[in-house]
Structure 1
Amino acid sequence: MVKIGFLSIAHMHAFSYANALKKMPHAKLAGLYDPNEQRGRDGASKMGVKYFSEPAELLEQVDAVIVCSENSRHREFTELAASFGRHVLSEKPIATSLKDGAAMIDACQEAGVKLQIAFPVRFNTPARRLKELLADGAVGEILAIRGTNQGKMPGGWFIDPELAGGGAVLDHTVHVVDLLRWFLGREFISVYAEIDNFLPGVEIDDSGLLSMEMEGGIFVTQDPSWSKPEIYPTWGNVTLKVVGTAGVLYMDAFSQNFLLYDNKAAQIVQRSFTEDMDYLLIEDFVDMILADKEPSITGYDGLAALAVAKAAYESARLQRPISVAALMKEFSI
């Protein structure tokens, strides 16, 4: 039995992860700590677990933790967990800076614990099927890829530059970048980005368009914008169009759904009838601990995805393409 706790539940995914843990026969949700006591106590009540007023008290009673804090606190909580010898699943992005991300990896390596990054789209059936088709050469030599990970503006700490570390570009670039690295086993070489802000009352980037090059000369574009309106029936999308010398493949990660017309709430809601990606992510994390395996999504995977997002911001600032490798080299990565 693996005992797992939460170090902060600031990120909304915490509740989905908690529901997943409660369904697993070989895992137990032991409780949570949150530096915001009211948020922590409210969350503990909803999850039906104990709220710990000090993180050390929680860490003494668990085998692993899930870090769902604001992005800027991922390093702090990961290093704390590692100092107690606890395995870590960190919400994405790994951190708000490459320096912090590299420090998280080092801390876990030095403590002999495992660090996994939460990229649940890897467990999505359409994404896995696309990976298989590309490995089988279904489109021949890959020439270009168009990706989207658009969504609603989440509000709250996500639009606080100090806590989030970036807006839509940081929030949504990393998912598509991680998928493409996983699919192809290739790194991103350079990024050119146009980034802007259009939503009223939002003082952080809410839109962007990235043009990128991968190893092998593959041209990639991605739209990571918070461009979906509040009335949109779901949170957003993840799509990919892969163009090759022998054909084209299109993936919509969340097209397996139906629409619920809710008269009482006066809204239309999209409901999925496919697998629960969050459940499969948490199941993978638990299995990693029980079987003493290496993480399927490593700290380096998280860092490589973050590097592309950081290169995008630098590109928008300087108005020129930025080398991803050059950014990674700054930290001897």
Structure 2
Amino acid sequence: MKIAVLSLAHPHAQSYIAALQRMPDIELAVSDPGHATRPVGESGGPALARELGGTHYLASYDEIWRWGPDAVIVCAENIEHRALAERAAAEGVHILCEKPLATTPEDASAMVAAADAAGVVLMVAYPVRFSPAYEELRESVRKGSLGEIVAISATNCGGVPVGTRSWFIDPALSGGGALTDHVVHAADLIGDLLGEEPVEVYATTTAIPNGGSRAVETGGLVSLRYEGGVIASIDCSWSRTNGAPDVGDLVTLSVVGTEGFAEIAPFADILTGWSARRGSLAHSYVPPMDDLLLREFLLAVREGVARQPDGRTGRAHVELVAGAYESTRLGTPIPLRPALH
């Protein structure tokens, strides 16, 4: 199967390339035409492709389309996602798009519509959904080990992404700051656990420089209300000290039920908790999340049918983030329309 990675702008592109190189029968190509416009010192282009090894580097996206990929992984700046996904759909090529799916609900809807019209797979890169720790938590919830879920809290924190990929703090390229970057992972897990999308969002943000002036929010707290009554909170802040390792706090999830609770930190490789029915819930893992995500995507490509998390799921999260920004502007909770199907 021929897979092309479109852009090395997002750091996750490097781990996706490494994961694909571990898989059999994959022919891999990379194009990163935007590398020349990045600030001095930020890696990319053919030099980074050579460092990663095992990839066929092409100078332009047009060359990628002539190469004829079966599927692409979009890792460009957020603002570029729609154009690349629409071009891939027009070429009849399946798509895995880095999160967030888009920077506006209109762009997200256009991407879903383009994939539907072309009959191609559109999925969103939420690797944490494939964490063994999360899968154990979901199984516990599905079996009723925690009773009825009454509250959920999540964190997705990191450092201000400056110095390695400065486009994250340029709203013209990213679409926003910590809300845009960090809410969607946690929202995906919570929505999957509950089997529903939120009906209301309330958010507040701050912009503490932490190393220089910032044009985007660097901290945020989001509260979500679900139709079944659950209230969830997401700390999406870029609050880690610059230079400190992010491991252990990229995503944490705490779930409280009427008969127990559970907590996971997938990047710390552990689930802990307690169940009145099962006793202790404590396990350790070594999660190959990117590998598991890509295997799911490649299976969807072979079958020609999108699997979760798909474009509609990604679109719901873009709607959520848009509502969060509206909430910060107005200072009030914002109702969210039901997810479109």
Q: TM-score, normalised by structure 1?
A: 0.89
Structure 2 contact 4–64 (Cα < 8 Å) conserved: yes
2:264 counterpart (226, 248, 251) = 251
Structure 2: distance between partners of 1:33 and 1:246:
51
Partner of 2:57: 51
Give the 3-state SS of the residue equivalent to 2:176 in structure 1.
coil
Partner of 1:202: 214
Give the letter for the 1:298 counterpart.
D
Matched ranges for 1:211-222 at <5 A = 211-222=223-234
Q: Which shows bigger deviation, 134-143 or 38-47?
A: 38-47
Partner of 1:230: 242
Structure 2: distance between partners of 1:50 and 1:242:
44
Partner of 1:265: none
Structure 2: distance between partners of 1:231 and 1:54:
33
Give the letter for the 1:212 counterpart.
L
CA deviation after TM superposition for structure 1 residue 187, in Å: 1.4
CA deviation after TM superposition for structure 1 residue 153, in Å: 1.1
Structure 2: distance between partners of 1:36 and 1:308:
31
Unaligned stretches of 5+ in structure 2?
Answer: 38-43, 271-283
Matched ranges for 1:27-106 at <5 A = 27-37=26-36, 39-48=44-53, 49-61=55-67, 62-106=69-113
Matched ranges for 1:163-182 at <5 A = 163-182=173-192
CA deviation after TM superposition for structure 1 residue 37, in Å: 4.7
2:306 counterpart (287, 294, 301) = 294
Partner of 1:160: 170
Aligned length: 314
Matched-pair identity in %: 40
Give the 3-state SS of the residue equivalent to 2:62 in structure 1.
helix
Give the 3-state SS of the residue equivalent to 2:328 in structure 1.
helix
2:296 counterpart (284, 287, 295) = 284
Give the 3-state SS of the residue equivalent to 1:202 in structure 2.
coil
Give the 3-state SS of the residue equivalent to 1:325 in structure 2.
coil
Give the letter for the 1:275 counterpart.
P
Per-residue CA distance 1:192-223 (angstroms, 9 max, x = gap): 11111012322210001111101201011110
Give the letter for the 1:325 counterpart.
R
Give the 3-state SS of the residue equivalent to 1:127 in structure 2.
helix
Structure 2: distance between partners of 1:273 and 1:178:
21
Partner of 1:263: none
Give the 3-state SS of the residue equivalent to 1:35 in structure 2.
helix
Unaligned stretches of 5+ in structure 1?
Answer: 258-271
| 2:122 aligned with 1:115 | yes
Structure 1 contact 197–204 (Cα < 8 Å) conserved: yes
Structure 2 contact 6–30 (Cα < 8 Å) conserved: no
CA deviation after TM superposition for structure 1 residue 43, in Å: 2.7
Per-residue CA distance 1:75-94 (angstroms, 9 max, x = gap): 01101111111111100000
Partner of 2:318: 306
Structure 2: distance between partners of 1:231 and 1:10:
20
CA deviation after TM superposition for structure 1 residue 243, in Å: 1.5
Q: Which shows bigger deviation, 108-117 or 51-60?
A: 51-60
Per-residue CA distance 1:275-299 (angstroms, 9 max, x = gap): 2211111121112212334322110
Structure 1: distance between partners of 2:45 and 2:135:
35
CA deviation after TM superposition for structure 1 residue 121, in Å: 0.2
